[in-house]
Chain A
């Protein structure tokens, strides 16, 4: 396949190229698009890259952390302010992949990949696009499949108030690293012992990582005790449409999802011995 390579000075320039050429694709860290090139994918013939420093920065903005879409997983791991995302970033591939895979690229990783995006959703992630507009990640993911023109420049997330507020669990068959059977991420802030503004997300359990609204509603305003956990686990299937792929069947995923969500919530409750 003959490829044309275009380098643009900014994300907005790159977005214009993508909008004017439906056979052009944005090239980030390469872990997705280079695979397609190696496979001989004929659906595109132009790759668009940019050298925009803002996409490589991690910035503090009060309660929020703003992550450039071009920041790699290893870049996140070495950043002091992003350590609350370390468990999620470390779950992505091996060291070589983490040196290449970008935060922005993870938003476009097809299921069952995209573990890191699950964490971003649970932290109320908001994507900033090349035209400056913003969109909640959960909404962005719904339309990503047919969207080859959007360029995400930054992702902002809410920083947890404390280290024990954010929890991440990736379930895979191969240890220490394997493709996800499923991924759960939960942000569980508490006020006076009651859960407030709960966010729970799941990966590899639907075509894209999704928020688990029913689970959130079961947890909201409750203490994180055995009864609350069972109530949340009882509605785990409401928000999910588990896929069948080479890693697991839909049936298997649906069967074990309550087990793993329960483990995550028990771990978050501090009752390490379980209920």
Chain B
């Protein structure tokens, strides 16, 4: 089986890995690099649980060919906080009860962070659009939307709350 060398910057750290031809990025992140934050939901690009940011763009890691991201900068939820210091979005999700089973949460957080990184003052419509590719079967979305808008009102995604 052909293996392809891939070098990426994952959450600020340079990582090198051999990937199989045809392997998706989600498998690479979870199995080869040990980052379990992106989740395998549908494998079809429908649920958004595997959302990560690649070179500044939100993408679905389950539909991304691992060998195609050689040289890319990749962000996952594992990199948005700083140890016990949660990212403002993570704190807001707790405050607003925006996570129940939690399976969609990492994808939601990455979509939300990518939105606020590009648009620090989104409207409610902007938020709905930004998470329109992420399915949540627990919360009914309102709590998630309110959490994201709350962070935006506090000054955007870059600020960390203690």
A34 to B21, CA, bound (A): 12
A99 to B131, CA, bound (A): 14
**Residues 45-100 of B contacting A (Cβ, < 8 Å):** 45, 48, 51, 57-60, 62-65, 67-68
Is B44 a contact of A38 with CB atoms below 8 Å? yes
Name the segment of A9-17, A88-96, A161-169 touching the other chain.
A88-96
Q: Does A133 contact B (CB under 8 A)?
A: no
A205 to B64, CA, bound (A): 30
Is B63 a contact of A95 with CB atoms below 8 Å? no
Q: Which residue of B lies closest to A74 (CB)?
A: B57
Q: Does A190 contact B (CB under 8 A)?
A: no
Is B48 a contact of A94 with CB atoms below 8 Å? yes
Is B4 a contact of A5 with CB atoms below 8 Å? yes
Is A176 a contact of B111 with CB atoms below 8 Å? no
For B28, list chain A residues within 8 Å (CB): none
Q: A177-B132, A177-B133 are in contact. Are A5 and B111 (CB under 8 A)?
A: no
Q: Does B101 contact A (CB under 8 A)?
A: no
Q: A49-B68, A94-B132, A95-B132 are in contact. Are A100 and B59 (CB under 8 A)?
A: yes
Main secondary structure of the interface of B (DSSP, over half): mixed
When the two chains form the complex, which single residue of A34, A49, A99 contacts B57, counting CB atoms closer than 8 Å?
A99
Is B22 a contact of A1 with CB atoms below 8 Å? yes
Is B22 a contact of A37 with CB atoms below 8 Å? yes
When the two chains form the complex, which single residue of A3, A27, A30 contacts B20, counting CB atoms closer than 8 Å?
A3
For B114, list chain A residues within 8 Å (CB): 95
Tell me the count of chain B residues lying within 8 A, CB to CB, of chain A.
32
Is B1 a contact of A96 with CB atoms below 8 Å? no
For A4, list chain B residues within 8 Å (CB): 2, 21
Q: Does B128 contact A (CB under 8 A)?
A: yes
Most buried by B among A27, A31, A35, A99: A99
How far in angstroms is the closest Cβ of chain B from A193? 36
A99 to B63, CA, bound (A): 11
When the two chains form the complex, which single residue of B48, B65, B131 contacts A30, counting CB atoms closer than 8 Å?
B65
Is A96 a contact of B59 with CB atoms below 8 Å? yes
How far in angstroms is the closest Cβ of chain A from B109? 13
Is A96 a contact of B48 with CB atoms below 8 Å? yes
For B4, list chain A residues within 8 Å (CB): 5
A100 to B114, CA, bound (A): 15
Is A5 a contact of B22 with CB atoms below 8 Å? yes
Most buried by A among B62, B111, B133: B133
**Residues 81-133 of A contacting B (Cβ, < 8 Å):** 93-97, 99-100
For B65, list chain A residues within 8 Å (CB): 5, 27, 30, 34, 47, 49
For B67, list chain A residues within 8 Å (CB): 5
Is B62 a contact of A3 with CB atoms below 8 Å? no
